[in-house]
Structure 1
Amino acid sequence: MADDEKSSGREIITGYAQQNFRYFRTADGTVYAQKNGHPVARPIRSQGTSGSHRQELMVGLYENGHGVFNGTALKEALDLIEALALTNDVQSVHIRVAPGFDGATWLDLGRNDGQSVRIHPTGWEVMTPSPEEVCWRRTQLTGELPLPAKDTDGKGIDQFLRLCNFANAETECLAIAWLIGCLGPSVPVPAPFLTGPQGAGKSTGGRMLVRIIEGMTGDLRRAPKDEENLIAAVAAGWVTALDNLSHLAPDLSDLMCCIVTGAETIKRALYTDGDVVRARYRRPLLLTGIDVGIIRPDLAERLLQLRLERPTVRRTEDELWREFEEALPVILGSLLDLTAKVRAAVAEIPTDLRMADFAHLCAQLDAATGLSSLAAYRASLDELNDDVIEGDLLAQTVLKHAITLTPGEEVRMTSSEWLHTLTQLYTGDDCRPLPKGWPTTGKVLSDRLKRLQPTLAARGVLVDWGRTKAARYIEMTRPAAPAPEQQQTAF
C-alpha cells in the first residue's frame, strides 16, 4: 500500500475511533476504550482471542462501510490514540462490583447489553450505568448473571439455605453476611472456610455461594502451585474459590492474608528494562476442605468457618443444579433486597475485632433482621483460635505457664530467659525431646510470640515488648478478671 493510502487509512481509523469510542487511562497508565453509551471498557493493547478492542474496531469499521484495513494502519492509528489518551483524566475500571455516586454500589450482571444493578440503601434497580460513573472490565472469568427478580419477600434466601447443608442457623447467617459483603467494593470480607465430614457437600456449597455472585459459569479451582498464577487468577475475577485444601504452606497462608485485606505486586514489564507493572488486588476468597492442618494466627483472624453436615437424602447433580439455576433470579433478588435493607440499618461498629468492617456489617444485619450473626462471628473466631492453639506447641506451653501466674502479675524477662523457661516447662522432668520448629534463639521466640500475640490475648494472656537501659525484655501478664458488671457491659 502506498504511503498516501496508509495515511488515509490511519485518518479513517482514528476519526472513526474517536467518534464512536471514549478513551481514558487508569492510574497505572493502561489505556482503555469504551464504546459510547456502553459501560464495558477494553484495554486497547489487549491481544485476546475474543473481545479485544482491536477486533471491536475492525468489526465496526467493516459494518459501517469503511472497509478492511491492514495491521500496519490499525497499529499506527492505535499508537496515536493511546498517546492522546494518556493526556486524559484518570478513571478506574472494575470487575463485577464497583462504587457509584451518592453512596450507591453497582453489580455487573455480565450481560452484553451492559445492564447492571444499582444498589442503594433506599433500594436497587436494574439499569445501564453512565460511563462517567462506572467502567466495567470483563475477562474470561466474568460470567453472566440472570436479571434478579423483584418483590421476592425473602423467598430466595430460604430457597438457597434449603439447597445447602449448613450445620446450624449460626453458619447460615454467616454465609448470608458474607454474600452481602461480596456486594461491597470497599469492604474487606473474611474468607469463608467450608468444612465438615466427607460427603457433607462442601464443594457443592462453595459452588453455590460463588455462583450467586459470579453466575453459573463460576466454579472452584485447585490452589495454584506458585504465587504469580494465583495473583493472576485473583486479578481476573471477583470471587476466588479454592477447593479441597489439605495443607496451607506459610507462603500460601501469607498470600491469602494479602488477598483478603488487599495488597499490591510490582514486576518488570515485558520487553522493558526499567518499566514496571503494578497489580493491586483485594478480593473475596473462599476455601473448602476437611482439614488444612496448622492455621497461622494472622490467617485465622481473616477466616470465617462455615460448617456443613452430611445430607440425609442424596440428589443427582443434574436435579440439584437445575433447581438452583431456576431459583437463582429469586435468590439474587432476595439478596439484593436484604443488602439494601442492611445498608440502611444503623448499628455500632465493634472495635475489638480485626475485620471491623465485616463485624459492622454483621451488626447491621442483626439490626435489620434480628439475627445473631455478630455473635456467630465471634464464636467462629473463638473456635479458630482454638485450632491455632491446638496446632502450636509453643502457644500451648505459654498458656500452661500463664496458669502459674497470679492474676494481675507482670513477669519481665529477656527473650533468652523466656526461651529457657518455656523450654524447661515443655521438656519437664522426663527431658522429652523438643519438637520440630521449636524456637532455637531468643530472637526466633520473640518473632513467634509476636505472631501469636492476638491469639494469646484472646485466651487472657497479654504479651508485650519493651526495653530498659540494660536490655530489651518481653512482658507477660495475666490480667485480673473484670467484675461481672463490666463483663455484661463488654457484650
Structure 2
Amino acid sequence: MSDDDKNPAREVIADYAQQHFRYFRTADGTVYAQKNGHPVARPIRSQGTSGSHRQELMVGLFKDGYGVFNGTALKEALDFIEALAMSEDVQPVHIRVAPGFDGATWLDLGRTDGQSVRIHPTGWDILTPDPREVCWRRTQLTGELPMPAKDTNGKGIDALMRLCNFATAETECLAIAWLIGCLGPSVPVPAPFLTGPQGAGKSTAGRMLVRIIEGMSGDLRRAPRDEENLIAAVAAGWVTALDNLSHLTPDLSDAVCCVVTGAENVKRALFTDGDVYRVGYRRPLLLTGIDVGVIRGDLAERLLPLRLERPSVRRTEAELWADYAQALPVILGSLLDLTVKVRAVEAETPTDLRMADFAHLCAQLDTATGFGALPAYRASLDDLNDDVIEGDLLAQTVLQHADTIEPGGEQRMTSTEWLHCLSRLYAGDDYRPLPKGWPTTGKVLSDRLKRLQPTLAARGVLIETGRTSDGRYLEMTRLATSPPHEQQPAF
C-alpha cells in the first residue's frame, strides 16, 4: 500500500476517539471526554500523571491493536476533537455530589465502575448514572467510599456519636444536620468549627466527619497561606478540612466566607494576554482548633461551633480507626436513610437567619426526628455573637451607648458626630488612649458599623444610614423588646 493510501495517524486517533468516547464542553469552555456508558469525565487537556484522558486514549489504542502513536499525532487529534466539541451541548461536571433528574441527587462513591448512590424522594439506590444525567469529575483527592449498608435502623448514627467526643446532644444534632447538608449540591452549609480543650480529639473527629463524604483517603490540611492556595484546594474536592487553626487573617476570613456561600474568581489564562478563565466555587468547609482569636461578624454567621470534650477512656489509633472503617458502611447507610426522611418532610423556613437554607434543613430535621437542631443552631449563633462583641471594642462601646437610649427610642447624628461621641465614651473621664484599630474618620466608622449591623441587631440595636438635605447620617435605634430568640423564659 502506498503512503498516499494510508490514513494519517491523527485521523486514526480521531476516528477511534469519537467511536469510544463522548466529548462535550462545560459552561466555561473546558472540553471533557467521557467513555461511552461511563459517568466519569476527564478534561482532554489534562496532563496529569494518572488518570488523564490522554493516557486512557493511548492505552485503548494499544490494547485494541492500533499500535503506539507519538505525541504530535495525539496532540493534533485532540486539537481537532476539541474544536468539534465546542459546538456540542453544554453540560456541567460535578465532584462527589450532583443534582439529577426528577428531584434526585447523586453521591459519587469514587469506584472505578462508576456506581453511585441516587437519593430520591422515596429512598436511595446504588446505580450507574446515565452519562447525560450526571458527569463525575475526579481528582487525586477523590477517595473511594464503601458500599453503604441498607436497613441500618439508625445504628450508624449512634456508632458515629460513640466514636466522636461531642460535648452535648445539641452538638451531635448540629453535626448530623451538617452531614445531611453536605449531601445536597445546592444547599450552602455553615463551616463546622470543632473546638475543645487539648486532647479532646478535634482532629480525629474532623477526619471522621470528612471521611463519611470523602472516603478513608480524606484528611485534614494546614491552613493555606493565601486565598489562591485555598481556592486550589477547594476546587479539587468536595469537603475541605483545615486543621489546628489558631488565627484567621482578615483575607483568609473573607476567603472562608466566600467558600461557604459561593463566589467566583476570574484569572488570566496561561500563555495569553487577553483571555481569562472563571473559577466558581461553593463547598462544605470544616475547621478545627482550640481558638481562632477574634472572629469577624460576617464569618460568625457562617460558622457552626461544635464543642468536644476530653474522653474518659483513651484508645489506640489503630483500634479506633479499625472500628471506624468497619462501621463506615453502616454510618453512610444510616446517613442516607436519614437524608431521605428529612427531605420528605415540610417545615417553615426561618427568615431571620443568614444561612436560611441550613436553618430550613435544621427545621426539617427537627420535624422528622424531634432532635432540636434549629434551637441549637440559634444558640450557637448567639454564642458566636458574644465572641464577636468580646473581640471588638467598638461593638462594646456602641452597646454601652445604646443603654442610654430609652427602649424604642432612636438617636441620629452624622458619622463624624458619632465618632466623637463614641470616642469620648470609650476614653472616659480618665482619657485613656484609643485602642489600635479604632476608627479615625467618620467614613471608617460608618463602614465598621455596617459590618457590625447583624451582630448589633442580635442584641437589639439597629444601625441605619440615610441622607437628608444636610448630608448623610447614622441612626441608632434601641428595640423596645429583645429579639425573639433572646427573650428570657418567664417564671
Partner residue in 2 for 1:227? 227
Q: What CA deviation, in whole Å up to 9, does each residue of 1:409-455 have, x standing for no partner?
A: 11000001000000000000011111110001100000000000000
1:396-415 aligned within 5 A:
396-415=396-415
Deviations 1:87-106 (A, max 9, x none): 00000000000000000000
Query: Any idea what the Cα deviations from partners look like across 1:458-480, whole Å, max 9, x if unmatched?
Result: 00001100111011110001011
Q: Which moved more, 1:262-271 or 1:3-12?
A: 3-12
Query: Is 1:270 aligned to residue 273 of structure 2?
Result: no
Q: In structure 2, what is the Cα distance between the partners aligned to 1:308 and 1:115? A: 35
- After the TM superposition, list the runs of 4 or more consecutive aligned residues in structure 1 that deviate by more than 2 angstroms: 2-8
Counterpart for residue 159 of structure 1 = 159
Change (3 A) 1:94 1:3: farther
Give the 3 Å change call, closer, same or farther, for CA 434–125 of structure 1 in structure 2. Answer: same
Distance 1:15 1:467 in 2: 68
For the residue of structure 1 that corresponds to 2:346, the secondary structure is coil
The CA distance in 1 between the partners of 2:238 and 2:105, in whole Å, is 15
Superposed displacement of residue 10, structure 1: 1.6
Q: Aligned partners of 2:466, 2:114: CA distance in 1, in Å?
A: 57
Assess if the C-alpha contact under 8 Å between 1:178 and 1:189 holds in 2.
yes
Task: Pick which of 9-18 and 188-197 moved more.
Answer: 9-18
Contact 1:196 1:307 in 2 (8 A): yes
Alpha-carbon distance between aligned partners in 2 of 1:212 and 1:5, rounded to the nearest angstrom: 57
* Residues 461, 210 of structure 1: alpha-carbon distance in 2 compared, 3 angstrom cutoff: same
Query: For the residues of structure 1 that align with 2:120 and 2:395, how far apart are their CA atoms?
Result: 45
Q: Do the aligned residues in 1 keep the contact of 2:460 with 2:482 (CA within 8 Å)?
A: no
In structure 1, what is the Cα distance between the partners aligned to 2:357 and 2:153?
27
Is 2:137 the counterpart of 1:134?
A: no
Q: Which residue of 1 aligns with 2:205?
A: 205
Cross-structure match for 1:63:
63
Q: How far apart are 1:12 and its partner, in Å?
A: 1.4
* 8 Å Cα contact 2:226/2:251 also seen in 1: no
Answer yes or no: is the 8 Å Cα contact 2:458–2:483 preserved in 1: no
Q: Please give the secondary structure, in 2, of the residue aligned with 1:117.
A: strand
Identity across the alignment (%): 82
The answer for the alignment partner of 1:75 in structure 2 is 75
Please give the per-residue CA displacement for 1:212-252, whole angstroms capped at 9, x wherever unaligned.
00000000000111211110110000001000000010000
1:101-147 deviations in whole A, cap 9, x for unaligned? 00000000000000000001210000000011000000000000000
**Normalising to structure 1: TM-score of the pair?**
0.97
Aligned length: 487
Looking at structure 2, the residues matched to 4 and 311 of structure 1 have their Cα atoms a distance apart, in angstroms, of 78
- For the residue of structure 1 that corresponds to 2:437, the secondary structure is coil
What is the distance in 1 between the residues matched to 2:91 and 2:234?
Answer: 21
* Counterpart for residue 390 of structure 2: 390
Cα distance, 1:7 vs structure 2 = 4.5
TM-score where L is the length of structure 2: 0.97
Shift of 1:8: 2.6
C-alpha distance in 2, partners of 1:5/1:307? 74
- Once residues 482 and 391 of structure 1 are traced to their aligned partners in structure 2, the CA distance between those partners, rounded to angstroms, is 22
Task: State the SS of the aligned residue for 2:404.
Answer: coil
Asked whether 1:15 is paired with 2:15, we answer: yes
Counterpart position of 2:380: 380
CA distance in 1, matches of 2:487, 2:401: 25
Q: Give the deviation of 1:31 after TM superposition.
A: 0.3
Aligned to 2:423: 423
- 2:461 maps to 461
Amino acid at match of 1:215: G
1:54-133 aligned within 5 A: 54-133=54-133
- Aligned pair 1:173/2:173, yes or no? yes
Cα 1:4–1:462 shift into 2, 3 Å: farther
SS at the partner of 1:102?
helix
The structural deviation recorded for 1:483 is: 11
Q: CA deviation at 1:71?
A: 1.1
Structure 1 residue runs without a partner (length 5+): none
Q: Is the 8 A contact 1:33 1:44 kept in 2?
A: yes
- Which amino acid is the alignment partner of residue 34 of structure 2? Q
- Mapping of 1:311-390 within 5 angstroms? 311-390=311-390
> Aligned-pair distance for 1:6?
8.2
Answer whether contact 1:6 1:73 (CA < 8 A) is retained.
no
Q: CA separation of 1:3/1:273 partners in 2, compared to 1, >3 Å: closer, same or farther? A: farther
Distance (whole Å) between structure 2 residues aligned to residue 45 and residue 9 of structure 1: 19
**Shift in alpha-carbon separation, 1:71–1:483, aligned structure 2, 3 A:** closer
Q: Name the CA shift for 1:5/1:228 in 2 (closer, same or farther; >3 Å).
A: farther
| Alpha-carbon distance in 2 for matches of 1:406, 1:262 | 40
Taking the aligned partners of 1:334 and 1:235, their CA distance within structure 2 comes to 28
**Distance in 2 (alpha carbons) for counterparts of 1:35 and 1:470:** 68
> Partner letter of residue 425 of structure 1?
L
